[in-house]
Amino acid sequence: MTPVRKAFVRGLIAALPMTIVVGPFALLFGVVATEAGLNLFETMLFSISVFAGASQFAALQTMQENAPALVVLATSLAVNLRMVMYSVTLAPHFGSLPLRSRALMAYFLVDQSFATTVAEIDRRPEMTAMEKRAVFFGAVVAVAPLWFLACLVGGMIGKAIPPEYALDFALPITFLAMVAPMLRSVPHLAAAGVSILLSLLLAGLPWGTGLLIAAGCAMATGAVLDRWIEARG
Amino acid sequence: MIDKSTFWIVLPALALGTYAIRFSFLGTLGTRPLPGWLTRSLRYTAVAVLPALVAPGVLWPPATGGETDPARLAAALVTLAVGVVTRSTMAAILAGGVTLYALLATLG
C-alpha cells in the first residue's frame, strides 16, 4: 500500500467511533425536520447544502418559533463560527495543494474530519500534504455518507412517529448533550450560565432577539474571563 | 410549522455563509494571525449560543402550552449532569431520553 493510501485508511479507522454519534444525530435531524413541516426533498437539500448538524438544528428551532430570516441566520451562523478556528488551524498544512483540493476540503470541514486530521498530524508530523489530505478524506468517508443516509431514513420515518414520543424534546436534549462535555473550564461554565440566565430573562422579547443578546453577552463573558485568567497566569 | 418563504431565504444564505466560514483560511491561505480578542471569542461560540437556544423551551415547553413539565425539566437536568460527568454526548442523550420516557410513563 502506498503511504497515501495507508494515511487514508488511518483516517477512516480513527473516525469510525464517531459514527456512533453521527448516525443517530442525522437520523434525528431527518425526523425533526419533517415533523417541522419540511418535505423529504427540502430536508435532504438542507443537509447536503449546509452540512453542519448543530447549525441545521438551530435553524430548524428558530424557524419553528417564526423568527425572521435574519435572526435565524445570525443564530445558525454563530453556531458555525467555531469552524473559522478549524480553517485557520488546517490552512498551513495544506497550502501546497491545488485550490480545488482545498475548496473540496472546505465543504467537508466538520468537527469529525477536523478532529481526526489534527490528532493524526500531531502523531505523525512528518506526513506530506497529500498524506494529510488522505487522512482528512478517510475521516470524511467514515462520517459523510452515513450523515446523508441517516438523514434520508429519518426524513422517511419522521411523520410516522406519534406525538406521545415527545420528540419535541429530542432537540433540547441533543443540544444540552453537546454542550455539557464542553463545560471544562471556568470561562466555559460562566458563558453557559450567562447564556441560560439571559435567555430566560429575555424570553419575552420578540423574534428570538433575546437569544441573540444572551448569546452575545455569554460569548463576551467567556472571552473576558479567559483573558483575565490568562493574564493572571 | 416552518414558514416556507423563510426557509427558502435561510437555506441558500446559510449554505453559502457556512461554506464561506470553512473556506475562509483554508482557501485563501490568509497568513496573518487572527487578533487575540477574536480567537478568544470564537472559543466560546458554541457554549454561548446552544444553552440560550434551549433554556426557555426547557422551562416552558411549547408542547405543554408553556407550562413547566417536571418530566422534561428533569430530563434536561439529567442530560446536562451526565454529559458533564462522562464527557460523552451519546451517554448524555441516552440518559436524558431514558429519564424523559420513564417520567412521562410514570407521571402520565
**Distance separating the N- and C-terminal Cα atoms of chain B:** 26
Q: Take residue A145 and report the three cell numbers written for it.
A: 455518507
C-alpha span between B13 and A105 (Å, rounded): 20
- Mean pLDDT computed over every residue of chain B: 88
pLDDT at A164 over 80: no
* For B6, nearest residue in chain A (alpha carbons): A69
Q: Tell me the HSE value of B71 on the side-chain side, using a 13 A CA sphere.
A: 18
**If you write DSSP's letter for every residue of B18-30 in order, what string do you get?**
HHHHHHHHHHH--
Give the pLDDT of residue B30: 58
How far does CA A98 lie from the centroid of its chain? 26
- Among A11, A5, A4, A10, smallest CA distance to A112 is for A11
ipTM over 0.90: no
C-alpha span between A142 and A17 (Å, rounded): 9
Grade residue B31 by pLDDT with cuts at 50, 70 and 90: low
Beta strands, E only, chain B: none
Cα radius of gyration rounded to whole Å, chain B? 19
Grade residue A211 by pLDDT with cuts at 50, 70 and 90: confident
Give the pLDDT of residue A201: 95
**A93-128 per-position pLDDT tens digit:** 898 899 999 999 999 999 889 988 988 888 898 999
Angle CA A26–B52–B17, to nearest 5: 55
**A169-198 per-position pLDDT tens digit:** 887 888 898 889 889 899 999 999 999 999
Q: What percent of chain A has pLDDT over 90?
A: 56
**φ, ψ at B68 (rounded to 5°):** -60, 130
Domain boundaries, chain B: 1-32, 46-107
Grade residue B100 by pLDDT with cuts at 50, 70 and 90: very high
Contact B10 A75 (CB under 8 A): no
pLDDT at B23 over 80: yes
pLDDT at B19 over 80: yes
Residue to mutate among B32, B44, B78, with most A CBs inside 10 A, is: B44
Residue to mutate among B6, B8, B11, B22, with most A CBs inside 10 A, is: B22
Cβ-in-10-Å burial (0-12, 13-18, 19+) of B20 comes to middle
Grade residue B32 by pLDDT with cuts at 50, 70 and 90: low
Measured between beta carbons, which residues in chain A are less than 8 angstroms from residue B3?
63, 66
- Among A4, A14, A15, smallest CA distance to A134 is for A4
* Number of residues that make up chain A: 233
pLDDT at A45 over 90: yes
Candidate from A50, A103, A198 with C-beta closest to B15: A50
> Distance from B17 to chain A by nearest Cα, in Å?
7
* Number of residues that make up chain B: 108
Give the pLDDT of residue A142: 95
CB pairs under 8 A between A and B: 286
Measured between beta carbons, which residues in chain B are less than 8 angstroms from residue A78?
45, 48-49
Candidate from A107, A223, A226 with C-beta closest to B22: A107
Listed as own residue / partner, the contacts of A140-143 with beta carbons closer than 8 Å and 24 or more positions apart are: A140/A108, A140/A113, A141/A8, A141/A12, A142/A11, A142/A12, A142/A15, A142/A16, A142/A18, A142/A19, A142/A112, A143/A15, A143/A18, A143/A19, A143/A22, A143/A110, A143/A112, A143/A113
Cβ-in-10-Å burial (0-12, 13-18, 19+) of A70 comes to middle
Average pLDDT over residues A130-141: 96
Residue whose C-alpha cell is 463573558: A221
Give the pLDDT of residue A1: 83
